[in-house]
Amino acid sequence: MRTVFLTALSLFVLVLCVHVPCQACTSFCLETEDGPVYGTNLDLHIGEGLVFVNRSGVAKQGYLPSASGQVAAWTSRYGSISFNLAGREFAWCGINEAGLVVSTMWLEHSVLPPPDERPPLNSGFWVQYQLDNCATVQEVMQTDSLVRLTQDACHFMVCDQSGNCASIEFLEGRMVFHTGDSMPVKVLTNIPYAEALSHMDQDTIPQNDPGDSIRRFVDAAASVRSFAQPCSVSAADHAMDTLVETVVAAHTKWNIVFDIPRREVYFRTTATPLRKQVSLGGFDVSCEAPLLMLDVDAKLEGDVAESFKPYEHDVNLSLFRSFCERWGIQLGEEEAVQFMQFLESFQCAP
């Protein structure tokens, strides 16, 4: 089964890097008197997905082997809310109980680490691994000694409860990060952070700006800096307005805001633009509780906590197979079912 998926997901990367014109995701973080508020857009030609309430205390493992044949294995320390494009465990972004937020953005410039003794994780598993295990930006950066990103040309923006943020990129085969004084603007789009910052500082936007990555970086930075307190709108509203009006792109599908101090999430989608909200604190995330999920495009409004339902194999499998088909991944029904059964085998740790 792992051989089948190694082949399939390698093909996925080829499709992502070659056939998708301009992914245009944007992430940023507002500094407020009450704490950090994080906004992120998913800009993709597909928008189906599921929102999961992930539990703590679950024993999990990866499925890709390291150079020595080892796979990643861990037990989730924290519960989380994640937004998943390909189903269970494939997190695109999320927030955990400790107040850590992680979001994914495509980065064509990525050069991932070569195979070594560290177990590899694709981007979805890498994000969920961080949400499961880490409370701070520093802890996320330290995981580079334990696992390595593989296959996916991505970079990430990570923020924690203290308001510390970092851009995490893989360039020339190693992790490169900007944080603290080296991250004066808490924004990330689809260009290496240092390059985007240089253009902003020089007040230059080149004519060749694929996906308007530099322009979105500059516009998001201006919006972040324009938020002053007291303000007639809340930080969450300002962040959502920035996502919907300022950095929106041709393929924007999801707008998501994380109020980190309150562990609250606000989201809307192109397919269902009604604004929904949910609080992580309103869920039981102990291992004995059921794994909960919600269609990201559910035609709901307001607090949607009561609309989350226990995990359904068929719904998750359908999303996963649809994702594979849309990316041109040749995967038989039997292999897809086997992989879902592998994910569903994750149980509470002793």
CB 47 within 8 A of CB 254: yes
Q: What is the pLDDT of residues 279-324, one digit of tens each?
A: 999 999 999 999 999 999 999 999 999 999 999 999 999 999 999 8
- Which of 278-282, 322-326, 337-341 has the least mean pLDDT? 322-326
Q: Is residue 47 situated within a structural domain?
A: yes
Q: What total number of domains does the chain contain?
A: 1
Residues 92-121, mean pLDDT to the nearest whole number? 96
pLDDT > 90? residue 274: yes
165 has which bridge partners? 159
pLDDT confidence of 232, banded at 50, 70, 90? confident
pLDDT confidence of 328, banded at 50, 70, 90? confident
Residues 27-56, mean pLDDT to the nearest whole number? 96
Residues 224-229, mean pLDDT to the nearest whole number? 89
d(CA 18, CA 307): 38
Q: What is the pLDDT of residues 143-163, one digit of tens each?
A: 999 999 998 899 999 999 999
State CA 91 to chain mean position distance. 6
Q: Is residue 215 situated within a structural domain?
A: yes
- Which of 61-75, 89-103, 180-194, 197-211 has the least mean pLDDT? 197-211
The DSSP secondary structure of 123-146, one letter per residue, reads HHHHHHHHHHH-SSHHHHHHGGGT
Q: Is residue 68 situated within a structural domain?
A: yes
pLDDT > 60? residue 261: yes
Q: Is residue 349 situated within a structural domain?
A: no
Q: Is residue 92 situated within a structural domain?
A: yes
What pLDDT does residue 206 have? 86
pLDDT > 80? residue 16: no
The domain that holds 124 is classified in CATH as 3.60.60.10
Q: Is residue 350 situated within a structural domain?
A: no
Q: Is residue 49 situated within a structural domain?
A: yes
CA Rg value for the chain: 19
pLDDT > 60? residue 2: no
Which of 350 and 23 is assigned the larger pLDDT? 350
pLDDT > 90? residue 205: no
d(CA 142, CA 129): 13
Residues 6+ apart with CB under 8 A from 205: 199, 214, 215, 218
Please give the residue range of the domain that contains residue 237.
2-344
What pLDDT does residue 10 have? 42
Residues 183-206, mean pLDDT to the nearest whole number? 94
pTM of the model: 0.94
Helix (H), strand (E) at residue 267: strand 264-269
Q: What is the pLDDT of residues 52-94, one digit of tens each?
A: 999 999 999 999 999 999 999 999 999 999 999 999 999 999 9
What pLDDT does residue 41 have? 98
Q: Is residue 130 situated within a structural domain?
A: yes
What interhelical angle do 213-226 and 193-202 show, nearest 10? 70
Average pLDDT value over all residues in the chain: 92
pLDDT > 90? residue 254: yes
pLDDT confidence of 23, banded at 50, 70, 90? low
